[in-house]
Amino acid sequence: MSRDIYQEPLVSRYTSRSMQELFSERTRIRTWRQCWIALAEAQNELGLSHIVSREMIDELKEQAENIDFELAAGKEKEIRHDVMAHVFAYGQKCPKAEGVIHLGATSQFVVCNTDLIIQKKALQIVRNSLVNVIANLAGFANKYKLLATLGYTHYQPAQPTTVGKRTTLYIQDLLLDLDYLENLEKQFKARGAKGTVGTQATFLELFDGDHEKVRQLDVLVARKLGFDESFPVTGQTYPRKLDMKTAETLSGIGASAHKFAVDLRLLSNLKVQEEPFAQKQVGSSAMAYKRNPMRSERMTGLARKLMGLTADFSATYANQWLERTLDDSAIRRMDIPQAFLLTDAILKLYINISSDMVVFPEQIKKHLMQELPFMATEKILMAGVEKGKSRQELHEIIKDHSLAAGKIVKEEGQDNDLLQRLADDDRVPFTQDELQVIVSDFQKFTGRATEQTEEFLDNYVFPRLAPYREILGKVDSELSV
């Protein structure tokens, strides 16, 4: 790696090797050549063997991996056209087939079909990582389904929930993302062999006006490239609407990760739940005691970048004049790889964090005990009525003591002494021990949190993960830095 020029951090620091290789120049040009071979084979099989011979196709296949990048780069500087530069470089290795490479095709035949092939494979990597995150969180939710913890609304203490139940909220978001992603994968089709502006005019000439042969060519090329079908109609490119929907789907995964990461940072501040912390990890250069949630912070930043890319894709799609304009080219070269690399980096972090999160039950209990006396006042009120007390009178008494207890907590930094205040009041028919019993069983305050978690996991999550059981636990989540 050169230290003298800018290096893309997504590659040098954050992403998996598999995603990096998928968007490499070698993969792109190798796939261009697969497209040219598929076209030549289809033309041969559909009756153009007198033009495109089997011998030519064999030569193209033999030289498919023999890519002279330097020769192509030099030619591109001369002619200012990357596709034709590689047609030239390929032709230099295939003298017999040189004259039929790219026969009847436009540049977007290789560019669009290759983009679709690469993105289709990239979505598989994303999907595999996503289901591994879901599986990790499902295991965590199941483990902590009984552990009562304070719930928060407006980041203020609310009714208790359980650690497991809270985790189901993140899982549900990711299941929606998985639904959208699987649906998106079904939208991927080949561009096929559509010609310069999508009319297949050149191919119709090659086949002497035989419309059926041209239709078959489109289908056959798509199948040879690994697609069940091609887009029924296109302009010069495949619909950029698909890019927009891809970006939205990946951005949705980023948003789900962002929500989780910010929540974990808040919980880390409360010292109730943390991301894994390596034995030799340094939290701060100045404050040696710190355990900064740096993985969650990194995930937040990467997700912010990913979510911001959707506007680019929408604008690119909306600006495709008539059959196509070239202002989509430069921005897509950057944005498409970035969108997938960002998603890959985010999910890599998410898998890493969710595989070994830390929970601190005693600290959770401490926060509960600070707030439960307030939350238990309704139970105390009902129990008092059962002992013959007036609800309205007891409500007024409890309210006055609650306000007083809240004041010393906020203004004096004292512990919540509401239960002691109520026990010392002769108008309240409970001793300190009796009041303590009312608030001691945290589980009674969590409603159906545990049952909801079990039902959600059993009825929705585990069945959803079942088709993916073979890839669970097999995705690399090691962080480079």
CA 339 to chain centre: 10
CA distances from 126 to 74, 151, 348 (A): 36, 32, 10
- The 8-class DSSP code of residue 468 comes to G
Residue among 266, 259, 268, 335 nearest 303 (CA): 259
Q: What distance in Å separates the CA atoms of residue 392 and residue 385, rounded to the nearest whole number?
A: 10
Beta bridge partners, 160, equal: 150
Q: What distance in Å separates the CA atoms of residue 52 and residue 54, rounded to the nearest whole number?
A: 7
Is 154 marked active-site? Answer: yes
Cβ atoms of 134 and 461 within 8 Å: the answer is: yes
- The 8-class DSSP code of residue 196 comes to S
φ and ψ at residue 151, rounded to 5 degrees: -90, 155
Q: What distance in Å separates the CA atoms of residue 271 and residue 358, rounded to the nearest whole number?
A: 10
Three-state DSSP state, 481: coil
- Backbone CA torsion sign across 141, 478, 306, 326: negative
Number of Cβ within 10 Å of residue 248's Cβ equals 16
Residue from 12, 49, 284, 329 carrying the catalytic annotation:
284
Is 50 marked active-site? Answer: no
Number of Cβ within 10 Å of residue 326's Cβ equals 8
φ and ψ at residue 209, rounded to 5 degrees: 80, 10
If you compute the radius of gyration of the chain from its CA atoms, what whole number of angstroms results?
A: 31
> Within 13 Å and on the Cβ side, how many CA atoms surround 413?
0
Residue among 334, 345, 272, 266 nearest 302 (CA): 345
Three-state DSSP state, 202: helix
Amino acid letter at 469?
A: R
Rounded to a whole number of angstroms, the distance between the first and last alpha carbons of the chain is 16
φ and ψ at residue 152, rounded to 5 degrees: -135, 135
Which residues participate in catalysis according to the annotation? 154, 284
